[in-house]
Structures are given as C-alpha cells and as structure tokens.
C-alpha cells in the first residue's frame, strides 16, 4: 500500500487487552460466545424472513439485509481479536491492518445508511400508508439497499487510502484490539493534520447527516402517531418504531463519541471500551431487540429453530 519508500513498518503489533493468561482466556471465551450468538441470531433472522412468506415485505427484507450486514461487520474484526488473545506475537501485517480498517469503517458506514432506510420505511408506512405499497416496492427496496452498500464502501475509500500512504517508520505498537484511526495516526512519522482533518470531516458529515435524517423522520412519525385517535393504533405504531430507535440509540451513542471529533481526550481504556460496545456488543443485541417485540418475527423464528431441531434429530 505505502509506496513512499520511507516506511519501514511491514506489520503492526495489536496489544489488545493486556493481562494475565487467565484473564485473556476469560475474555476470549466471552467474546467467542458473543460472536457465536451474533452470527446465530442474525442467520436465524435471515432464515426466518426467507422461509416465511408472510415476512416477504419491505420492512422484513430490510431487516434481513441488516442482519447480513451485521454478520460481516463482526466478522471483519472479531476473528482477529480472538486470534490475538491466543497469539504470542499479536502481529497483523500492514496490508491486513488497513484492509481490516477499510472494511470496518465501510460496513459501519453502510449500517448508518441502512438505519436511514429503515427510518424512511417506517415514515412511509405510518405517515403515508395508502401510498406505501406503490412506493416501497420490492424493486425500490432493492435499489435502496444497493445504494447503502455503494455509499458505504465509497465513503471512506479516499481517507483510508491517504492514511495508507503516510510513512510509518516505527514504533509499530498499537494499543488497541483493532486497527483504528487514532492509534494509526499516532504512529505516523509525518504530519497527519490534513489526513486527520479529511477523515474526521467525512466521519462527521456521515454521522450527523444520517442521525439528523433519522430524527427528522421520527419527528414526523411521532406527530402522525399522536394524531391517531385509537390507543391500540398508537401502541402498534410505537411498537414498530421502538425497536429501531433502540438500535439507533445504541449505535449512534457510541460512534458519535468516537468519530465526530478527535478522541485524544479519552483514555486508551475508554477508547477500547467504547469501540467494543459498538463493534461487538451492539450487533449481538440487535437480533433480540428486533425479534422480542415483534410477534410475526417470534413466530417465524420459532419455526426456524423447530425445523433445525427436526433436522438434528434425523
């Protein structure tokens, strides 16, 4: 990646979570369990939407795509974190570090736009129910999903490319469990002000614009719901939006602390904890948040797990 000829760093050392071997094994076990639950829960949602014809609606199609995204989001970092716990060298190649960095931020950006699309879907369903079937067609839903992936993988391509061209002359120790912007910036042996400004400008633009859109959509939804005379109707509307708002709060609450402005004021330990929350903890909660408050999803998941049990017993 780095063609400057100045860089002597060919690999980085990810310190992860330093501590006694017993603590390392305990953390390994916990994160492995969380990873398994995340993948299992999201795969179950994808299967439920695919197998239950009643869930072949835009809302659930978006949810299945969101689950697919979450599987890749945790997979681009967690296996390396687990390997790091058991490794003595704890190294990652220069190319591997920036590849992980790119996919981590690209998938995170895609998630921001997915949350916007879900907010738009709920806005149409509640504020314009008569026009909803003609607007949110399967084809249009597919276009929205494709645009989310496209923007997500283009958004950080230039900032991360610029970072990869910085000279890294040593040291090569990253006090983190993944390749992140602040630790990498601090290791460069050249001024990083311009690259840092570009990176945080892109981050702020993506995060602020998407959260403002989501808040604006739900402001209109709230205004419409409060005009509904039936308490049962209001409760149903709030129920369909509540799960999404919980996910938005968990995700944006942590990434805004990290990437809207430089986080040098945060301690290294706090940096790791915040990153762990939105990169590992939040994805495992999403399947439970979306399924526990939705009767149709619970019914479909029940049939998925019952089918799996039947297959295992054969």
CA distance 175 to 193: 21
Q: How many residues does the chain have?
A: 314
pLDDT at 312: 55
Is domain 11-313 in CATH 3.40.50.720, yes or no?
no
pLDDT at 55: 84
> Is the link from the previous residue into 168 a cis peptide, with omega within 30 of 0?
no
More reliable by pLDDT, 313 or 133: 133
More reliable by pLDDT, 172 or 233: 172
Any idea where the domains of the chain sit in the sequence?
11-313
In contact, 59 and 121? CB cutoff 8 Å: yes
CA distance 163 to 188: 9
More reliable by pLDDT, 269 or 197: 197
- pLDDT, one tens digit per residue, over 47-104 is 888 888 888 888 889 989 999 999 999 999 999 999 999 888 899 999 999 999 999 9
Match 């492995």 to its residue by tokens. 32
Residue 11's beta-bridge partner residues?
Answer: 93
CA dihedral sign of residues 181, 182, 183, 186: positive
More reliable by pLDDT, 287 or 143: 143
CA distance 232 to 238: 10
- pLDDT, one tens digit per residue, over 4-61 is 445 478 899 999 888 888 888 999 999 999 999 999 989 988 988 888 888 888 888 9
């Amino acid at each position: 990646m780095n063609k400057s000829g100045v860089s002597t760093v060919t690999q980085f050392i990810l310190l992860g979570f330093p501590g006694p071997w017993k603590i390392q094994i305990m953390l390994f076990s916990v994160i492995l369990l969380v990873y398994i639950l995340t993948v299992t829960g999201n795969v179950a949602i994808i299967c439920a939407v695919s197998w239950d014809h009643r869930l072949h609606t835009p809302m659930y199609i978006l949810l299945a795509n969101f689950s697919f995204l979450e599987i890749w989001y945790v997979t681009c970092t967690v296996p390396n974190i687990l390997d790091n716990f058991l490794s003595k060298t704890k190294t990652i190649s220069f190319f591997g570090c920036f590849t992980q960095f790119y996919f981590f931020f690209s998938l995170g950006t895609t998630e921001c736009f997915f949350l916007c699309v879900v907010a738009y879907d709920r806005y149409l369903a509640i504020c314009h129910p008569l026009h909803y079937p003609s607007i949110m067609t399967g084809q249009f839903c597919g276009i929205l999903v494709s645009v989310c992936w496209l923007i997500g993988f283009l958004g950080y391509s230039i900032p991360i490319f610029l970072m990869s061209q910085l000279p890294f002359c040593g040291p090569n120790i990253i006090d983190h469990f993944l390749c992140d912007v602040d630790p990498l910036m601090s290791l460069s042996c050249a001024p990083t002000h311009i690259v840092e400004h570009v990176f945080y400008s892109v981050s702020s633009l993506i995060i602020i614009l998407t959260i403002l859109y989501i808040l604006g959509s739900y402001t209109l939804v709230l205004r419409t719901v409060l005009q509904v005379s039936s308490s049962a109707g209001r409760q149903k509307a709030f129920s369909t939006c509540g799960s999404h708002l919980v996910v938005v709060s968990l995700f944006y609450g942590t990434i805004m602390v990290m990437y809207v402005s430089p986080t040098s004021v945060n301690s290294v330990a706090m940096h790791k904890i915040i990153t762990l929350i939105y990169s590992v903890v939040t994805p495992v909660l999403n399947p439970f948040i979306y399924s526990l408050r939705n009767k149709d999803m619970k019914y479909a998941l029940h049939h998925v797990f019952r089918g799996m049990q039947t297959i295992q017993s054969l």
